[in-house]
Structure 1
Amino acid sequence: MYDHLLQNILKHRIIPKDEQVLIANSFSIKRFKSSDWLIKPGTIARQLFFINNGVLKITLPHPHNKDVVYFFLKEHQFMTFLYSMYGNVPAVQGLQAACVAEVMMINYEQLTDLYRQLPYLRALIDEIAQLSMAEMVTIKNVYMFGEASDKYQNFLQRQPDVAKRVALNDIASYLGITPQSLSRIRRSITNSKVIF
């Protein structure tokens, strides 16, 4: 259960076994249903999450519509809004389950206690978060321009496992196209496939 959490950390640093156990034992497991909030926009992020199973979505409030999906996160990624957690300020974004999800989580007080016991850990978590953010921006930039059908084809190529598990409305929001356009695109793709 804790293997993926530790493997993710160990990719970046060698850690003694007893410290690995300390880290793993500091996290608890929680399951979320689709659409459950892990962090609501306008609230302070109080936990660090590691996705064991499922897909989470980062949302942005929209003044005239429901929240916009900014990004999908899948298994074996850490996630929180560090600026909110460390700065004790409300998060602009939200974090929500895009499907049934199981996460490992640690609250801020336990995390700061872990940082005191393992002084290298904060810099390590921050480094992992920055790498994840850079990857997120790179992927998101691919969907910024082009025709709606091109955006959807890119999404299917780059994040096929996510495409199978999340709602079509969320995919449309993420790609910046209307649900109606996405339905038409999906129909045309299905109709254009030749069955032998």
Structure 2
Amino acid sequence: MYKIYFQHLNKKIPLTKVEEELIKSHLAFKKLRKKQYLLQEGDECKYTAFVEKGVLRSYSVDGNGGEHIVQFAIEGWFISDLYSLFSGEPAIYNIDAIEDAELVLISKSANDALLQQCPKYQTLMLEIITNAYIALQRRLNAIPHLTVEERYQKFIQQYPAIAKRVPQHMIASYLGITPETLSRVRRRITNGK
């Protein structure tokens, strides 16, 4: 329990045993079964989750029932509805498990306490949030500037572990295309090689 979480943190900034114990005292552990929700749209998001095992996705559902995936999270990644977490407003995303999952949860109040009590934790969170913002900015920039084929190839190159574990229709949703379009793209790429 918490093994991957602390490996992840210690890669960024080495923690002392005392700092690890302080952080651990603010964490909770949760298991999700495949298709089980961590968060449903409309509920208040109370945690940021770190994935120890499994795959999760964050998505919204449009008026026609279409899913729009905004994030996948595998081992070593964080996932949350940050707007809801920090504002207290209802969540705009659903988060559920694509595979059985084991999660490390940290509440907003625990996060706030650690930011005050542990300077290294503050540095870690700043780095994590900065990296997430950069990834989001790159993704938003790719949408109008890359072809569908280029976006798919970039996804496969950047996230090979996700591509192997997530159904194709979910990759299509993440890319903002239909599963049929993704099938045509994959066929063109395969035939072009």
**TM-score (structure 2 length as normaliser):** 0.81
Question: How many positions carry a matched residue from both structures?
Answer: 193
User: What CA distance in whole angstroms lies between the structure 1 residues aligned with 2:8 and 2:105?
Assistant: 15
Change (3 A) 1:61 1:126: farther
Residue of structure 2 in register with 1:60 after alignment: 60
Q: Which runs of 5+ in 2 are unaligned?
A: none
1:84 aligns with 2:84: yes
8 Å CA contact retained: 1:49, 1:103: yes
Q: Is the counterpart of residue 128 in structure 1 residue 144 in structure 2? A: no
Matched, 1:149 2:140: no
1:31-70 to 2 correspondences below 5 Å: 31-70=31-70
Quote the Cα distance in structure 1 between the aligned partners of 2:90 and 2:122: 21
Structure 1 window deviating more from structure 2 (168-177 vs 12-21): it is 12-21
Across the aligned residues of Structure 1 and Structure 2, the Cα RMSD in angstroms comes to 2.8
Q: Percent identity?
A: 32
Q: Is the 8 A contact 1:78 1:129 kept in 2?
A: no
Q: Render the CA deviation track for 1:82-134: whole Å, top value 9, x for unaligned.
A: 33223212222232223332211133444445455436635642442232232
Which residue number corresponds to residue 164 of structure 1?
Answer: 164
User: What's the secondary structure of 1:164's corresponding residue?
Assistant: helix
For 2:8, give the aligned amino acid.
N
Q: Which residue of 2 aligns with 1:15?
A: 15
**Structure-1-length-normalised TM-score:** 0.80
Provide the C-alpha distance between the structure 2 equivalents of 1:141 and 1:99, rounded to a whole number of angstroms.
Answer: 30
Contact 1:5–1:24, Cα closer than 8 Å, also in 2 = no
**Larger helix percent:** 2
Q: Does 1:97 align with 2:97?
A: yes
- After the TM superposition, which parts of structure 1 deviate over 6 Å for at least 4 consecutive aligned residues? none
